[in-house]
Structure formats: structure tokens, C-alpha cells
Amino acid sequence: MNWIGDNLGLIWEALREHLYLAIVPVILGLIISVPLGYVATRYSWLANPLIAFGGVLYSLPSIALFIVIPAILGTKVLATINIIVALTIYTVSLLIRNVIDGLRSVPPDVRQSAIAVGYSPLHRVITVDLPIAVPVIFTGLRVVTVANISMVSVGAVIGIGGLGELFTLGFQKDFLTPVVVGVVLSLLLALCADLILVTLQRLLTPWARVATPVGEVA
Amino acid sequence: MWQYLTDSYNWSGNEGIWARIVQHLWYTFAALGLSVVIALPIGLRIGHTRRGAFLAINLGNAARALPSLGLLMIAVLLTNQIGFLPVLIALVALGIPPILASTYAGLSGVDPATIDAARGMGMTGREILTKVEIPIALPLIISGVRSATLQIVSTATIAALVSLGGLGRYVVDGLKLRDFPQMFSGALLVALLAIVLDAIFALIGRITVSPGLNAR
């Protein structure tokens, strides 16, 4: 317990770095996969290869990706950007399937109605298609956010790992407290992120709450 | 990197690449086997009786948030030794949740009418489980084992952090010596191993799944 009190600064710094390393890739990944998913639904022959390719990318071990990326990008092995790029790749490879499935779940008659009342394509995608796809996209977003948060700590093996650095510290000093603190904070971070996403989804889809009021036959 | 990988000297011997691959596979399959032995019966029981479903679902979700590296370090510090045992504990802890969750999901997805029909034909509970529920749930069970394998094979890399062998040695030693070609080679080999294992499981899935499930 003394250790925690004496090292609050260190713990806080690790937590801050962890959050940054986990969340930035989720945002980047979302920004990449939504347009990509849209293109894949426009040109549907693209969809299955994209999903399959994503599956292969997602099966790559994170530590391998953390190390191979600098070889491809020409960045230094011990640079933060490697973790960001690696986790962005994971995010896109998982999210692309959900974006495609979500956009496909838009009923054709809804889309036709939007076109009929004069929505421009961009306007329609943003105000009609995407909101309908939100629940499916958010399912993937939740999975990938939690996975990213746990994966960041693997970066500690190559010296950049947010809370993961507490693991290596505890291991080197043969001292359990930092490791437990790291694991607990990592779990809490994942829990909080998940709750925020659930809340965000509820805010983004207000009709989902109205759709099944008490007593209505589902 | 190619130089490292194509030098035959690096492939042979006790610390050669082949030996490391064999070690890596040994950790992977030891942990995977143990995970299956533990998770499968529990998952089948929960799925068959539908009791404890809450546990099965939430365990699967919570496990995704567990940082594998922290798990390994805790296992090392609690068992008070470095070596095979803590690695096995950490890897099994990663392998159990996906197998348990997907076995349950597979069994709970079986149409109740199908089970009723089996009971109506006079099948006992055990027969329903082995002849109806498991075959129908098999694709999901296999996909659970498959994701457990991927988790374990990539996490087995960190076994090298606690003085074990396996392909992680190249990553950890390479990092220490600033020998980046060695690191890249190790990482690449782990990725290839993961892809090969994944392909094997995809094949197993295709072969073992009852043709009745694919017929429309």
C-alpha cells in the first residue's frame, strides 16, 4: 500500500499513457473504417475480401505487429507511433466487418424513401444510413476498445506500454503490488470505456429506447 | 531480416529456429489442451442445463479485458518461480474464457424444438448432448478453440520474458542486443505460426462439421 502512495505520479503517468495509446487507435480506426465500409457496400465485390483480409490481420500476434511495423514504416522500434499504428490496424480489421454489416442492415425501403424525399447521397449516408448502423458498429467498437486496452500493455515488452510498464517493473523488482495495480487499473479502464460506449450508443439511438416501451408486444 | 532468416546456421541446433518453433508449439498445445479439458465440460454443462449462463457470458467479456502480460507476471510472482508453470497458468487463463463462452453460446443456440424432438424420440439427456447438441454446436465450439489458440500462440511469445524458450526468445534477446533483424524474424515467425494454426483450424472446422448443418 505504501508503494501506491509513494508512486502516485508514476501510476498516473502510466494510466494516462495507457488511455492515450488505447483510445487514439479506436478513433483513427473508426475514421478509417466507416468510409472504407461504405465503399465496400457500394461496390459489394469488395466486401468479402475486405472482411477476410481483416480476419487475417486480426489474427496476427500484437507483439509481432509492434515489432514488424517499424520495419515497414521505417520508424524507430521504440516509438509510440508503432503501437498506435498496430492498434489502428487491429481496430480497422475488426470494425470493417461491423461497419459493412451495419450498413447492410439498413432496410432498402428506408434508403429509397430518403432518396425519394430528396436527400443527397452524402446527407443520406450521414443522417439515415449511419444512425441505423450504429448498434452493429458499436458492438464492434466495444469489443475492439476493450481488446485494445488489454493489448497496450504488451507494448511494455518493447518499452512502451502504459500500465504494462508497471508489470515489467514489478517483475524486475520481484514485487507483486505494481503488477496488481496495473491489472486492476487496466480492467477498470476497460470497464469505464465500455460503459461510456454503451451510454454514447443510447444517446446516439434515442429511438431504440422508445421502440419497446413497457407492455408492448415485441 | 532476410539474411537472418535465410542463414541456415540460424535454423539448426538446440537454439535454432526449428527448435524454437517446436518449443513454441509445445507451450501452445500444452496450454490449449489444458484449457479445453477445463473449459469444455463446464461449457457443455452450462449450455446443456442452462444454469450459470450469466457466468459464461460475462466471463467471456471480462477476459478480453485481462492484460496477458500482467497475468503472466502475477503467475510468476505468486508461484514464486520463473519457468514453465507460471507461463502455463497464464496461457490457460487466457484460453479458458473463449472456449467456455463459445461452447455455451453454441449449445444455447440449439433450437429448443430440435431438443424436444430428440427427447420425443426417446433420447436420454446424455444422448441429446452427444448426438444432437454437440454436433449442432460444433462450429461455434471450434471457433472458440480457434480464438483461444490464436490468443495462446501469440501470448506464448512472452514466455521468453520469464526465461523460457519459444519464438519469443528472438524478440526478447533481439531487443536486449538491439539486434533488430533477429527481433523482426521472431515476430514474423510468430505471425506465420498463428496464420498456419488458424488455417488448420478452419480446415478442421470444415471437415468435422456435420454436412446436415450446411444443407439448406
Domain spans in chain B, listed from the N-terminal domain onward: 18-210
- Amino acid A210: pLDDT: 63
| Minimum-distance CB partner of A67 among B64, B155, B184 | B184
Could you give the percent of chain B with pLDDT greater than 90? 25
Cβ(B137)–Cβ(B84) under 8 Å? Answer: no
- Residue positions counted in chain B: 216
Task: Pick the closest to residue B25 from B206, B205, B190, B216 (CA basis).
Answer: B190
Q: By the 8 A CB rule, do B98 and B66 touch?
A: no
Q: Show the cell assigned to A35.
A: 468510409
Distance from CA of A50 to the nearest CA of B (A): 17
Chain B residues closer than 8 Å to A170 by CB? 73, 77
Distance from CA of B53 to the nearest CA of A (A): 20
Distance from CA of A180 to the nearest CA of B (A): 7
Residue A55, pLDDT > 70, answer yes
* pLDDT of A216 higher than 80: no
Residue numbers in B near A64 (CB within 8 A): 154, 157, 186-188, 190-191, 194
What b/e string do you get for A2-40 counting C-beta neighbours within 10 Å, with b at 16 or more? eeeeebeebbeebbebbbebbbbbbebbbebbbebbbeb
pLDDT of residue A211: 55
Q: With pLDDT > 70 as the criterion, what percentage of chain A qualifies?
A: 95
pLDDT tens-digit series, residues A20-46: 999 999 999 999 999 999 999 888 898
What pLDDT is recorded for position B4? 72
Judged by CB atoms within 8 Å, which residues 116-145 of A form the interface with B? 143
Best mutation target among A90, A152, A166, A179 (most B Cβ atoms within 10 Å) is: A179
Whether A39 contacts A32, CB under 8 Å? no
Contact predicate B85/B30, CB 8 Å: no
Domain B18-210 in CATH 1.10.3720.10? The answer is yes
pLDDT value for A76: 79
d(CA A118, CA A109): 14
Q: Are A186 and B70 in contact (CB under 8 A)?
A: yes
Chain A residues with CB-CB distance to B172 below 8 A: 157
Confidence of residue A217 (pLDDT cuts 50, 70, 90): very low
Given an 8 Å threshold on Cβ–Cβ distance, is A157 in contact with B70?
Answer: no
pLDDT tens per residue, range B39-48:
999 999 998 8
Partner-chain contact B77 A175, CB within 8 Å: yes
Q: How many residues does chain A have?
A: 218
The minimum CA-CA distance between A174 and chain B, rounded to whole Å, is 7
Contact A102, A51 (CB under 8 A): no
Sign of CA dihedral B71, B73, B78, B79: positive
Q: Inter-axis angle of helices A80-104 and A47-58, to 10 degrees?
A: 140
Return the minimum-mean-pLDDT range out of A34-43, A55-64, B23-32. Answer: A55-64
Given pLDDT bands bounded at 50, 70 and 90, which one contains residue A200? very high
Domain ranges within chain A, ordered by starting residue: 2-207
* Interatomic CA distance for residues B211 and B206, integer angstroms: 9
Centroid of chain to Cα B195: 13
Compute the distance between CA of residue B81 and CA of residue B76 in angstroms, rounded to an integer.
6
What are the pLDDT digits (tens) for A64-91? 788 888 878 887 777 888 899 999 999 9
What is the distance in angstroms between the CA of the first residue and the CA of the last residue of chain B? 49
Q: In the structure, what pLDDT confidence band is assigned to residue B9 with cuts at 50, 70 and 90?
A: low
Query: Which string of b and e fits B29-66 if b means at least 16 CB within 10 Å?
Result: ebbbebbbeebbebbbbbbbeeeeeeebbebbeebbbb
The residue that leads in pLDDT, A161 or B29, is B29
Task: Determine the straight-line distance between the first and last CA of chain A, rounded to whole angstroms.
Answer: 52
For residues B147-159, average pLDDT: 87
Query: pLDDT by residue (tens digit) across A165-194?
Result: 888 888 888 888 999 999 999 999 999 999
For residues A100-104, give the mean pLDDT: 91
pLDDT of B174-190, one tens digit each?
878 878 788 888 888 88
Å from B183 to nearest chain A CA? 7
Statement: residue A8 has pLDDT above 70: yes
Q: Closest to B171 (Cβ–Cβ): which among A63, A156, A190? A: A63
* Furthest C-alpha separation in chain B: 68
For the entire predicted model, the pTM comes to 0.81
| DSSP, res B162 | G
* pLDDT for B1: 62
pLDDT at residue B216, rounded to an integer: 42
Kindly state the average pLDDT of the residues B30-46: 94
Q: How many CB atoms lie within 10 A of CB A167?
A: 33
Q: What is the 3-state secondary structure (H, E, C) of A20-70?
A: HHHHHHHHHHHHHHHHHHHHHHHCHHHHHHHHHHHHHHHCCCHHHHHHHHH
Domain covering A2-207 in this structure, CATH number: 1.10.3720.10
User: What angle do the packed helices B53-65 and A130-152 form, to 10 degrees?
Assistant: 70
pLDDT of residue A23: 93
pLDDT in tens, B189-202: 888 898 899 889 88
Does the pLDDT value for residue B88 go beyond 90?
A: yes
Residues A112-158 have pLDDT tens digits of 999 999 998 889 988 899 999 998 999 899 989 998 998 898 888 77
Chain B residues near residue A156 by CB distance under 8 angstroms? 69
Q: Which residues, in sequence order, are CB contacts of B200 under 8 Å at separation 6+?
A: none
The CA-based angle A13-A17-A18, given to 5 degrees, is: 115
Residue A218, pLDDT score: 40
Cβ pairs A/B, distance under 8 A: 131
